[in-house]
Structure 1
Amino acid sequence: MNRRRWLQCAGSTLASAFGVTSLTSLMIAPSAAQTADYRALVCVFLYGGNDGMNTIVPLDTTRYNQYAGVRGALALPQSALLRLSGTDYGLHPALSALADAWNEGALAPVFNVGPLYRPLTKSEYRSAPASSPLIPDNLFSHSDQQVLWESATTHAHTRTGWGGRAAAVLGTTNPVISVGGNSRFGLSELQAPLVLPGPGATFGIEGLGDLSWAPIAARKTALEALYADGHQNKLLDAYARQQRDAFATANRLGALVKTQPGDVNAPAALTQAFAPLIADGKVSTGIGQQLYQIAKLIHGNATVQGSRQIFFAQLGGFDTHGNQVSSGNPQQGQHAALLQQLGDALACFHNAMKAIGRADQVTLFTQSDFGRTFKPNNSTGTDHAWGNRHLVLGGAVKGRTTYGTYPTLVLGGPDDVGLHEWEQHGRWIPTTSVDQYAATLLRWFGASDAQLDAILPNLVNFGSQRVLGFL
């Protein structure tokens, strides 16, 4: 086997370990513009379509009665809801761990958000042909709506994500860092996200994990020597540089990634903040592990490098078509269990950021496929809808109030896509776009208006209402 063929074969394993998905991904990322301050965005995607109707519920008598009258067996008791003081809304009781964040002014709900090309009325929706740009591609489809949320577009064939585009346009030191696997959110034209495993896992080149064994160490040395030389072929040269960067990243981050709360080198402040979720020296839930990993990366920013970071985490299981509640109790069941995991992990993460003095510099936000129908189905569950409620958390959040417009809780009303009785299920037409939601986050992150337009192509269609004011 000649030297060039060896480079091609050896590099394939290396590239796959670092999430490289195409030849264009091998190009070098833009150089970072270093600044003295630090800011991080943390996206938590709730896969399956979270039921926002039971996540944030109106408490005033008129709307609560409308809610309870339609929701029936799914309706949460008014007395059980976590009242958001100063508003007419309450959180699902499973999110009670977020009470302190609300009281601190670090938590804000955002109402009726979804993919939009421009502001859209019900009459426009009803009269528009299927091919109209006003109608997002393949509404109510999981895979397509995940793409629309992650890409902040209305076209399901969009390749890049708004997180990836933001990292590229702003020239962050690292690409989007994902602890929740590959996703569209972190893709840019030239780079895939950096996908990291959970705490306790070895992060490095496949097959080169145990460098204490001489043959493995020798193989790593040989590969590094192969990639050290330049090449006249520009593609091979770019590929070799990518492999050098991959080795350097693995060497830099390996020990940090592997650390668990029970380890002697674990940051004590993070261990204390995540204590409610720690058992036998490990974080006990999947979303908790992901947010602990992100907390470590933020705490260890001197090792991670860069003054701007975008992170991605995820929690699945929200496709609650059946048995959304348990034994007729809406405070128990699949949805409540998922929200419990989410709320507990978010609270631990926020406490961790406060403990390390980063709360004002880190903003966490939720995304999801879509909302779910206001009207339950015949299986004690809910079906696919459109507009949804989301949460934004962090010290920079202008909390203790709500943002956006809560939908009119009337089946067949002005916010329901359904016109005839058979199609009146409460699939809300969004009144806030993913673009406006993302623009608010990215403006705080440091993006200029011109950069926002480059990252979010549909933002220009919302006139002066570009940002929502929650940061």
Structure 2
Amino acid sequence: MHVNRREFLRRSICAALGGASLHGALGNLRLISAAAAAHRHAFTDYKALVCVYLYGGNDSFNTIVPCDSTHYGIYQGTRQGLAIPQAGLQQNVLNPLPAQGGLPGGPPSDGATYGMHPSMGQLTNGNAGLRGLFNSGKAAIVANVGSLLYPITQQQYQSGSVPTPAQLYSHDDQTNQWQTSRPDDANANGWGGRIADMLYSANLGDLPMSITLSGENRFQRATTVNQFAVDSYGAAFAAAGVDEGGDPVDFFQVQGMSFRGDGPESWVVGNDPGRRAAYDALRASGTQAHVLERAFADTANRAIANAALLNAAMTGTRLQTRFPDTDLGNQLAAVALMIKVRAALGMSRQVFFVSVGNYDTHGSQLADQAGNLEQLSQALAAFHAATVEMDVAEGVTAFTASDFGRSLAVNSDGTDHGWGGHHFVVGGAVRGQRFYGLMPSLAQYDEGHPGNGNPDDTGYGQIIPTLAVDQYSATLARWFGVDAGGIADLFPNLGRFPGGGDLGFMA
């Protein structure tokens, strides 16, 4: 793999100074930053990527559903008791733009009319959810994306003539492959983390480029840039400046550290003097004999320092946009607040990670997915409205990811682990109101006559992806500012797929 100058400098310094020991003792590798300063990235604009991860595997075939009579009949025959009523879909119909000369994307490739799940078009807090964003040109649908080593057909899958990623249909393995975009390397860092390693010098401040609202994750795991974990509890109310009862509030947390009270250490030590003294001794500079003790001290000190930076910038920060008081609503409210203070923190590029669970719908899918998709739709719509309020919509792109799509075949009142699935991309720079990629057949697989059934089905109910995670990720990375050489470094398997790493859904 091509090694650029930054990577050469990083490897050389790590080798000279002990690699892991350097990271443990010196934290976020400021020596590497200094060595690479001559090659600092400089951007005149601001951009943020926001990964919205749906843990468990979202059933996208009940999220975006055909509603014209012909295609709905096929879908209904396959989905049986899990089919969404046609009338509800027609009330939430999607109105894609016609294909335009020279531009990718347009109406769905199968000629069907599609509607969104009814819970995704409800008018709440002045917005019509993801359906409203799509029909107004602020969201796109990327069809049938999944983890792939090579393009593969049904016949190739069934004969085993083309390699597939390891442990297909496994939550852990497919999550790692989606978050790393490296199905051939189980030890790879996340693709968001690799981008941060590549571009972190663009930021003038000390806050890490990668911020997670959902704990440590593989997507942001990196060599140089540490994930900074922020607690989003109460952020929806903090953004508005009032609590549920309308009383004033000024509340924000970083790694559980309250922005009010006795300072950012209070979450660990409380107000007990003995505990505080013991904790201060553990993290005192230059007193640790063991490399793991030094790593702990460094991590704690950096977390406290970062919390102080964010605290100073965030105090009194408000938004007019109202966010839903849900798990995802709070996480995206916190992201919006941090984007608002980007200039004070010296940030020109940021990578955020938010997530929700409960998408592993083996049973009770109709009830569970309705709540899941309503939360997703309303939170993303509020988040986009906040970026418009802050006049930064063109620079902020949110996108969904999930372990896998679910099986087209049903299992009582749920679905099983699948493979390919559809995803949303939201933002002012998105070429929205369009479908990208190929919509798969939703017909039942006919084992006796597979050619007359569903050519997109593995034969076991899972839909074979026609777009690779690599292509989806690379399109976002290119928009974010990664150059052609960097794209080749980040996604070394990209050349295996037709059209390369630009699906065209970003302007």
Q: Which TM-score applies when normalising by structure 2? A: 0.75
Give the drift of 1:62.
2.3
In the alignment, what sits opposite 1:453? 488
The answer to whether 1:95 aligns with 2:120 is: yes
| Contact 1:417/1:429 (8 A) holds in 2 | yes
1:440 to 452, 475, 489: 475
CA gap of 1:78–1:24, structure 2 versus 1, over 3 A, is farther
The answer to whether 1:63 aligns with 2:92 is: no
Paired residue secondary structure (1:49) = coil
In the alignment, what sits opposite 2:151? 119
Give the drift of 1:191.
4.1
Residue 193 of structure 1 aligns with an amino acid whose one-letter code is: Q
The answer to whether 1:41 aligns with 2:82 is: no
How do 1:188-203 residues align onto structure 2 when only pairs under 5 Å count?
A: 188-198=222-232, 199=235, 200=251, 202-203=253-254
1:104 to 125, 128, 136: 136
In the alignment, what sits opposite 1:16? none
Give the drift of 1:352.
0.4
In the alignment, what sits opposite 1:371? 405
2:388 to 324, 334, 354: 354
For residues 133-167 of structure 1, the C-alpha deviation after alignment (integer angstroms, 9 at most, x for no partner) is x2111011111111111111214723411111111
| Contact 1:138/1:156 (8 A) holds in 2 | no
The answer to whether 1:249 aligns with 2:306 is: yes
Give the drift of 1:467.
1.3
For residues 249-300 of structure 1, the C-alpha deviation after alignment (integer angstroms, 9 at most, x for no partner) is 121013566x7xxxxx241xx2x3125x2xxxxxx21000000000001011
The answer to whether 1:300 aligns with 2:335 is: no
Q: Which TM-score applies when normalising by structure 1? A: 0.80
CA gap of 1:211–1:232, structure 2 versus 1, over 3 A, is closer
Paired residues in the alignment total 417
In the alignment, what sits opposite 2:357? 316
| Contact 2:24/2:295 (8 A) holds in 1 | no
- Percent identity, aligned pairs only, is 38
CA gap of 1:416–1:336, structure 2 versus 1, over 3 A, is same
1:274 to 319, 322, 332: 322
CA gap of 1:434–1:36, structure 2 versus 1, over 3 A, is same
In structure 2, stretches of 5+ residues that fail to align are 1-20, 34-39, 97-106, 108-112, 122-128, 236-250, 258-262, 446-453
Residue 388 of structure 1 aligns with an amino acid whose one-letter code is: G
In the alignment, what sits opposite 1:288? 329
Paired residue secondary structure (2:331) = helix
For residues 31-72 of structure 1, the C-alpha deviation after alignment (integer angstroms, 9 at most, x for no partner) is 463422100000000001000001111233322211111111
The answer to whether 1:184 aligns with 2:218 is: yes
In the alignment, what sits opposite 1:385? 418
Instruction: Please say which of residues 382-391 and 77-86 is displaced more in the overlay.
Output: 77-86
**Structure 1 CA distance, aligned partners of 2:60 and 2:41?**
38
1:417 to 458, 475, 484: 458
Give the drift of 1:375.
1.6
**Structure 1 CA distance, aligned partners of 2:50 and 2:213?**
11
Paired residue secondary structure (2:176) = helix
CA gap of 1:222–1:315, structure 2 versus 1, over 3 A, is closer
Paired residue secondary structure (2:457) = coil
| Contact 1:25/1:191 (8 A) holds in 2 | no
Q: CA RMSD in A?
A: 3.2
Give the drift of 1:372.
0.7
Paired residue secondary structure (1:126) = helix
Paired residue secondary structure (1:354) = helix
Residue 409 of structure 2 aligns with an amino acid whose one-letter code is: K
The answer to whether 1:154 aligns with 2:162 is: no
Residue 432 of structure 1 aligns with an amino acid whose one-letter code is: L
CA gap of 1:85–1:216, structure 2 versus 1, over 3 A, is farther
**Structure 2 CA distance, aligned partners of 1:124 and 1:225?**
56
Give the drift of 1:213.
6.3
For residues 419-451 of structure 1, the C-alpha deviation after alignment (integer angstroms, 9 at most, x for no partner) is xxxx3x2x1110000000001111110111111
Paired residue secondary structure (1:85) = coil
Paired residue secondary structure (2:398) = strand
Residue 420 of structure 2 aligns with an amino acid whose one-letter code is: G
Paired residue secondary structure (1:185) = coil
